[in-house]
């Protein structure tokens, strides 16, 4: 995404759980960032013409055999470098400092102590303030030319900087919310030490992506699979701005939608963009394909495959207008990461935008949001003039209710879940909680039955799970503490109004260890 006026900051990933979060925090400082694996040769890093390089934390000890190392050539290239945790120690070691295993560890909240002069990074911050540490080794001697600007009980050198060479680093994690001044420290490195101008704005994202789309598609035509969610809507709006009426949106009613979604897409999105929309009723096709399938990964792959087949049929039906050689998808950065798209990342789940596409795909993919986080996508949608009902809509997975039914997907089970989901959404909206929670999946445990008493009679119904979560970008999440009276109304209405359900339970698991969706 970077151009000559918006050179990237490269976040070198040493296996840190927070590497993507670092990249996101850099962008919050209005500087574009990309995550790259630590195995990337220095020549390749420099070929990207980085404005600065950030060395992330990591789980290794610098003393372990085979532990990731930093090529000394990196520090001879004239590029500003910022080290965090493991990256801080690796940087210190390469430049001639001393890193030791002292036997003193610091994990979690730690008090950072500043000398009289806190340097550029910590100037005018409280002399003692909390930061988030996670280290066993520590830097006990700074390299020549560096000024030590902070310490802690377990880290004699907890921060240092060399303004002349534009190098700096901290032992703690400035990217996490538990380091309250961390974002300011990161901003000071980027703007004041590295000298990067804050140019990564919503307007610049739109302008740059429109140019990229025009270059990729040329005079061709594109199809966008519109789901009604914010991701596909923003992707479609970007492509439409780039190529106009050569974009056709295909809305597939696969029968896995929530109540009222088809109407919302056909009314709100078309009204706000004027885009050409074709609706395909494929309910029976998807139900037939999913018949008898209970494995969640298999469900995702089937749904992804059928989506593509429907698009290909829509393309054939539209042949009279010209060839549609491009398929627009709302793939986001977390989709890529969780599908194993980043070096060293585990494949948490397949995603129909990433890993579930057929090998014989007839389209070239256009993915204008692939490097963006959800909050950035919402800002882009607002910049493009999309209505708030779309931009602020809670995330909804591409496979729809198909992955919120634990067990086989049938028309009857979909109707049960649709009713329960609609009640939960109505009550959350009525309580003014739509902005408080990130997402509230409602899950039907179709293969589970529980005993209940309804109408003075014994019942043997299905449990429904409520999964309200709070998050910034879906990389991590915590369960939302909903008011008891709201939970009571949701539970009472579902068990009263959905005859097949006799029990409502609350999922109080954070991510990690649990993902947001159950399947």
DSSP-H helix ranges across 164-268: 182-188, 202-217, 230-243, 261-264
Catalytic residue among 85, 138, 249, 440: 85
CB 500 within 8 A of CB 415: no
Kindly give, in sequence order, each residue whose CB lies less than 8 Å from that of residue 376, ignoring residues fewer than 6 positions away.
Answer: 27, 202, 205
State the first-to-last Cα distance of the chain, in angstroms, to the nearest integer.
32
Q: What are phi and psi of 23, to 5 degrees?
A: -60, -40
**Encoded tokens for 93:** 């070691």
Judge whether 440 counts as a catalytic residue.
Answer: no
CB 53 within 8 A of CB 44: no
Q: How many residues can be counted in the chain? A: 519
Q: Give the whole-angstrom CA distance, residue 299 versus residue 118.
A: 55
**Encoded tokens for 78:** 């004239």
Collapsed DSSP state (helix, strand, coil) of residue 421: helix
Q: Give the whole-angstrom CA distance, residue 251 versus residue 281.
A: 9
Catalytic residue among 106, 161, 175, 500: 175
Catalytic residue among 173, 254, 351, 462: 173
Collapsed DSSP state (helix, strand, coil) of residue 73: helix
Judge whether 173 counts as a catalytic residue.
Answer: yes
CB atoms inside a 10 Å sphere around CB 48: 15
How far does Cα 214 stand from its chain's mean position? 26
Give, in degrees to the nearest 5, the angle at Cα 326 between 322 and 330.
Answer: 135
Judge whether 364 counts as a catalytic residue.
Answer: no
CB 454 within 8 A of CB 494: no
DSSP-H helix ranges across 433-477: none
CB 22 within 8 A of CB 84: yes
CB atoms inside a 10 Å sphere around CB 293: 16
Q: Give the whole-angstrom CA distance, residue 129 versus residue 178.
A: 11
Instruction: Please name which of 137, 59, 133 lies closest in space to residue 98, comparing C-alpha atoms.
Output: 137
Q: Give the whole-angstrom CA distance, residue 280 versus residue 303.
A: 15
Q: How far is CA 386 from CA 212, 271, 382, 383, in A?
A: 21, 10, 6, 8
Q: Give the whole-angstrom CA distance, residue 517 versus residue 519.
A: 6
Alpha carbon dihedral 482, 486, 489, 493, in 10-degree steps, equals: -60
Q: Give the whole-angstrom CA distance, residue 499 versus residue 409.
A: 18
Active site residues: 85, 173, 175
């Amino acid at each position: 995404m970077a151009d000559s006026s918006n050179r990237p900051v490269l976040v070198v990933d040493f296996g840190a759980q927070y590497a993507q979060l670092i990249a996101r925090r850099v962008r919050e400082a209005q500087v574009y960032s990309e995550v790259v694996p630590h195995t990337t040769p220095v020549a390749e890093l420099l070929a990207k013409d980085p404005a600065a390089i950030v060395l992330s934390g990591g789980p290794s000890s610098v003393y372990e055999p085979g532990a990731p190392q930093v090529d000394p050539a990196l520090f001879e290239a004239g590029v500003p470098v910022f080290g965090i945790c493991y990256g801080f120690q690796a940087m210190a070691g390469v430049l001639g400092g001393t890193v030791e295993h002292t036997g003193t560890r610091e994990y979690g909240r730690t008090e950072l102590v500043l000398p009289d002069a806190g340097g550029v990074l910590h100037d005018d911050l409280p002399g003692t303030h909390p930061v988030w540490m996670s280290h066993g080794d520590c830097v006990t001697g700074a390299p020549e030319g560096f000024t030590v600007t902070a310490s802690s009980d377990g880290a004699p050198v907890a921060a240092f900087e060399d303004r002349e060479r534009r190098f700096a680093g901290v032992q703690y994690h400035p990217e996490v919310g538990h380091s309250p001044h961390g974002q300011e420290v990161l901003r000071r490195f980027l703007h004041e030490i590295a000298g990067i101008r804050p140019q990564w704005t919503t307007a610049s994202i739109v302008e740059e992506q429109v140019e990229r789309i025009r270059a990729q598609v040329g005079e061709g035509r594109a199809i966008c699979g519109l789901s009604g969610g914010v991701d596909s809507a923003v992707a479609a709006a970007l492509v439409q701005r780039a190529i106009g009426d050569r974009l056709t949106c295909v809305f597939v009613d696969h029968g896995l939608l929530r109540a009222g979604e088809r109407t919302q897409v056909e009314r709100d999105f078309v009204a706000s963009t004027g885009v050409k929309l074709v609706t395909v009723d494929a309910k029976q096709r998807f139900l037939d394909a999913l018949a008898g399938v209970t494995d969640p990964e298999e469900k995702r792959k089937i749904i992804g495959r059928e989506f593509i087949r429907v698009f290909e049929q829509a393309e054939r039906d539209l042949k009279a207008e010209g060839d549609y050689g491009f398929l627009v998808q709302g793939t986001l950065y977390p989709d890529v990461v969780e599908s194993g798209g980043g070096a060293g990342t585990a494949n948490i789940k397949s995603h129909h935008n990433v890993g579930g596409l057929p090998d014989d795909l007839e389209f070239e993919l256009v993915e204008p949001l692939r490097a963006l986080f959800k909050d950035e996508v919402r800002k882009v949608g607002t910049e493009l003039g999309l209505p708030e009902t779309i931009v602020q809509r809670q995330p909804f997975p591409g496979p729809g209710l198909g992955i919120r039914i634990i067990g086989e997907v049938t028309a009857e089970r979909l109707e049960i879940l649709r009713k329960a989901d609609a009640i939960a959404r109505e009550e959350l909206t009525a309580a003014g909680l739509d902005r408080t929670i990130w997402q509230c999946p409602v899950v039907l445990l179709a293969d589970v039955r529980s005993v209940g008493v309804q109408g003075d009679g014994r019942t043997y119904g299905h449990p429904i799970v409520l999964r309200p979560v709070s998050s910034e970008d879906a990389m991590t999440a915590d369960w939302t503490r909903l008011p008891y009276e709201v939970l009571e109304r949701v539970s009472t209405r579902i068990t009263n109004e959905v005859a097949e359900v006799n029990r409502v339970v609350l999922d109080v698991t954070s991510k990690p260890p649990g993902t947001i969706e159950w399947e």
